[in-house]
Structures are given as structure tokens and as C-alpha cells.
Amino acid sequence: MEIIIAKDYDSVCELAAEILTGVVAANPDATLGLATGSTPLGVYARLVSAVSDGALSLAGCKSFNLDEYVGAGVNDAHSYAYYMRENLFGKTDIDPRNTHLPLGTAPDLAAECERYTALLAANRRDIQLLGLGSDGHIAFNEPNTPFDSHTHVAELAESTVKDNSRLFANPDDVPRYALTMGIADIMDARKILILACGANKAQAVRGMVKGEVDERMPASVLQRHADVTVILDEAAAELL
């Protein structure tokens, strides 16, 4: 694992945007694995600026997102599909037909998981961007998710529901289930870029980087990947 400790959130996003831009510069048809949450917002803002300045084009890229809330429709303001359109897809030259997320409103969730797993297998990601849950989850793979898992329906941990409730007016509206790429799908990416900021991530960062590789700490699996870059701000790195 390469570990970079940046001064603050802006520096984390700057470095992450440079790495993603470098992947697309080297291969304009790159397949990108994308994440949601608050952390990547500054990265996406930089990619949007780079595209509008003509310094970057995503026109040849394909993208695959990590996860989606069960029951969230693509036009629901809390859905990750909506987030991606608002923060990246709708503001860049990526072809919307080349952007993929699991469908939270699929009538048959098991079939949707199978469809997404097969799609991922046919489209290996050149780079996978990740955030980190305060309990060590990656995507919505909560503690004790098997390392050999593929796309599945996950029940969110209580701590995750609590973390996510800041984004909902009514805490009872926070979804309890999500469709998520599995850990094996994430590990299949050629390169992984994981970002964590803030003191509430420090314990999970320590487990990811220095802890035992154990299903109780999902992000610890990344120690087994050959090409991982971890970018932290000083607060998230404080227990290293």
C-alpha cells in the first residue's frame, strides 16, 4: 500500500483528481470504478473543471459505481444515480450510456445482482475509487462480509445508518438496504485509490493499514491488493 498523508481535504482531492486524470490520460478508454459519499465530491468537482477547461475528456470512458440504495429510483434525490448525474456525469462529456450503477428499483434484486456481477466481470476496472466507512466498510460491504463476495443486497450496519442520516431530513427515511459490489469485485480492479478524511475515520484507517486482514474489518482486505494508493488527511492518519 502506498500511503500519502495530505494536509487537508482539498489536498486529498487534488492528489486523487491528479491520479484519476493520469489514468485517463494514459488510456482515454479507461474503465473507471466510481464511489459516492461526501469524500469524493471535491475530486469530482476537479474532474468537472478539468473537462470544462479542455484538460480532460471522459468521452471514451466507461464507469461502474459501487452501490445504490434499495428502493431508490434514478430520479430520487437521495439515490446514488442522482448524485452521480449531479456531481459528475451531467457536467462532463462522459456518455451517459457508458455509466453504470446497480438499479435500486429492480423488481428482482437477486437477478439485478447477477446482472451487475456479470457486467463487472466483463469490464475490469482500470482504477477503483473508494471511500471508507467509519466502521471500515468499503462500498456497502459491512463488517463480516465474505472477502469472496460479489454484488449482493447488504443490510447497512447501525453505525452506517447513523452516519448517513445527516443527508436525510428524517432519520427514519435512511435506507437500511443497498445493492453493493462485493469485495471480490472491488479487488478485481487493476488499481485502487482509497480516500479518507476526518478523525471519525482514524480507527478504520488504522485497521485497514495496520490491522490483521480479517473480514471483521472489510478494508483490511486491501492489504492483499498489489496496487493500492491510500490518501488521507492528517486527522484520518492520526492513529497510524
Which residues belong to the active site? 67, 135, 137, 142
Q: Which of 85, 98, 107 is nearest to 36 (CA)?
A: 85
Distance CA 1, CA 224 (A): 9
Task: Report phi then psi at 24, rounded to 5.
Answer: -75, -35
Q: Which of 23, 48, 18 is nearest to 33 (CA)?
A: 23
| Nearest to ligand GLP of 104, 131 (CB atom) | 131
Q: Which of 59, 62, 58 is nearest to 98 (CA)?
A: 62
Q: Which of 131, 136, 182, 207 binds ligand GLP (CB under 6 A)?
A: 131
Q: Which of 30, 139, 154, 202 binds ligand GLP (CB under 6 A)?
A: 139
Residues 6 or more apart whose CB falls under 8 angstroms from that of 156 comprise 140, 142, 164, 175, 176, 177, 178
Distance CA 232, CA 7 (A): 8
Please identify the residue of the shown chain whose CB is closest to the bound ligand GLP: 131
- Give the footprint of ligand GLP on residues 160-219 (CB under 6 A): 160
Q: Which of 9, 23, 39, 152 binds ligand GLP (CB under 6 A)?
A: 39
Q: Which of 68, 72, 140, 174 binds ligand GLP (CB under 6 A)?
A: 140
Number of residues that bind ligand GLP (CB under 6 A): 13
Q: Which of 104, 133, 207, 218 binds ligand GLP (CB under 6 A)?
A: 133
66 in contact with ligand GLP (CB under 6 A): yes
132 in contact with ligand GLP (CB under 6 A): yes
DSSP letters of 73-111? -TTSTTSHHHHHHHHTGGGSS--GGGEE---TT-S-HHH
104 in contact with ligand GLP (CB under 6 A): no
| Nearest to ligand GLP of 61, 219 (CB atom) | 219
Question: What are the residues binding ligand GLP (CB under 6 A)?
Answer: 35-39, 66-67, 131-133, 139-140, 160
